[in-house]
Structure 1
Amino acid sequence: MEQASSYVKPMPVSPKHNGRKQLFENSFLERLTRTHILVPIGIFTTFAIALIYYGAVFKELTLLSIVLPFLVGILVFTLVEYLVHRYVFHMLPDTPVKADIQYKFHGVHHEYPKDKDRLAMPPVLSATIISLLFGLFYLIMGEYAFGFTAGFGLGYGSYLGVHYIVHAFPPPKNFLRILWINHSIHHYKDDDVAFGVSSPLWDWVFGTLPKKG
């Protein structure tokens, strides 16, 4: 009979309200881990607009064949955001390699949540990922990939904007307030809930909404 694992999840890191962490000794690699938030938002927004324009003008796609995949792309992004945050960024660091990956990808953000230069993927990585995703989606769904990838990319750009607002500004007095509250709970109270940043939809579906009261 296989022995039960003795692994115990480590205590959450204690958030620091200022400062930043150096991840790499090499200055070039360290620089690649940082970016101003407007750069990746600009990359994903420009890519989305370019895909819609190219699909409409050069591929002569109908409005319906762009708009419907676009909306599905946004919805699918919110699901991917939730799953990656929950199962990749918060994977159990039960080996040294996984612990190192988890910390560099996301743990450092929990330790230094106010470090504004680490609230998004670096530009080179952002551009590479959205380009590869478009290629993958095109293989799967053909010309519907123009609208779908545009929606997916704009969904990510919106996520970046919401994430930045949550960490850089006081609680807003509009519809973003609930997102601000949920993400603050995730960072400062219970990192096993509120994995959705741009939307609470999948937390509601999978039962990981913060408990009231």
Structure 2
Amino acid sequence: MVAQTFTVDLNKPLVFQVGHLGEAYQEWVHQPIVSKEGPRFFASNFWEFLTRTVWWVIPLIWLPVVCWFVSASIRMGCTFPEVVPLVFIGILVWTLMEYTLHRFLFHIKTKSYWGNTAHYLLHGCHHKHPMDGLRLVFPPAATAILLVPVWFLVKLISTPSTAPAVFGGGLLGYVMYDVTHYYLHHGQPSSKVPRDLKRYHLNHHFRIQNKGFGITSSLWDKVFGTLPPTKTA
């Protein structure tokens, strides 16, 4: 099969098709289909189920975990005034991770079969179908797996009593990111700050996809020079 002539059949499961696009994948995946109806990813109902997550599951599952980790630092001797800045440090670190992952991993250029397939699963599907309401937040099972190495990294660079609060703050930052991301696509903000943030994010999807990598804020775009030109915002 010649990669240049391959055509994706949108009526069939997509994941194992997109790899065949080869170098044409980058152009294809950045031509969005604006529909609330998401595509089917897998023929298997089990794997298909794992790719779909309603937004409220994220705070429902992870906010109790955040509370447990933050309270663990208090149980180990940290006072509340000491815990608060640790949580804010965790949130700030998350915003940098959010920006870094989005810019350097989610927007990596691929052309091999498995490279395209992995990228589509990770982020390409979101750019192709940006209004798919069941794939705007990260599946909890995948999040749980990724949290394990992050926790060990935080423990490595923190003290035993401060590590849980920093980790809890980072996890809280993630929850804020995921629910904000959903809201920016499907909410109808009436006040200026969320309205500007929605415009900022949709600009990334529909106008300048190599700028504006921040989701919860434009802080790191300003720091690293990836702020979109004002006239296109």
TM-based fold match above 0.5: yes
Question: Partner amino acid for 2:230?
Answer: K
Which residue number in structure 1 is paired with residue 16 of structure 2? none
- Confirm whether residue 186 of structure 1 aligns to residue 204 of structure 2: yes
Cα distance, 1:13 vs. partner? 2.0
| CA deviation vs aligned residue, 1:48-104 (integer Å, no higher than 9, x gap) | 1111112212x1213344222211111110010001011111100132222111111
Which residue number in structure 1 is paired with residue 103 of structure 2? 86
Question: Partner amino acid for 2:46?
Answer: F
Query: Once superposed, which parts of structure 1, at least 4 consecutive aligned residues long, lie more than 4 Å away?
Result: none
Maintained 8 Å contact 2:72/2:165 = no
Maintained 8 Å contact 1:44/1:130 = no
| CA deviation vs aligned residue, 1:147-167 (integer Å, no higher than 9, x gap) | 111110110111111101111
Structure 1's 99 and 71: CA in aligned 2 closer, same or farther, altered over 3 A?
A: same
Q: Distance in 2 between matches of 1:10 and 1:126?
A: 26
Q: Distance in 2 between matches of 1:129 and 1:41?
A: 17
Structure 1's 172 and 92: CA in aligned 2 closer, same or farther, altered over 3 A?
A: farther
Q: 2:170 aligns with which of 137, 152, 168?
A: 152
- Confirm whether residue 31 of structure 1 aligns to residue 49 of structure 2: yes
Maintained 8 Å contact 2:38/2:133 = no
Cα distance, 1:35 vs. partner? 0.9
Which residue number in structure 2 is paired with residue 10 of structure 1? 26
Report SS of the residue matched to 2:214: coil
Report SS of the residue matched to 1:118: coil
Structure 1's 190 and 156: CA in aligned 2 closer, same or farther, altered over 3 A?
A: same
Q: 1:120 aligns with which of 134, 137, 154?
A: 137
Query: Identity across aligned pairs (percent)?
Result: 32
Q: Higher mean Cα deviation, 9-18 or 162-171?
A: 9-18
Question: Partner amino acid for 1:91?
Answer: I
Report SS of the residue matched to 1:106: helix
Q: Distance in 1 between matches of 2:24 and 2:224?
A: 23
Cα distance, 1:14 vs. partner? 2.6
Structure 2 unaligned segments of length 5 or more: list them: 1-22
Q: Distance in 1 between matches of 2:142 and 2:170?
A: 16
Equivalent pairs, count: 206
Maintained 8 Å contact 1:45/1:154 = yes
What RMSD in Å do the two structures reach over aligned CA positions? 1.9
What's the TM-score, normalizing by structure 2?
Answer: 0.82
What's the TM-score, normalizing by structure 1?
Answer: 0.89
Maintained 8 Å contact 2:103/2:213 = yes
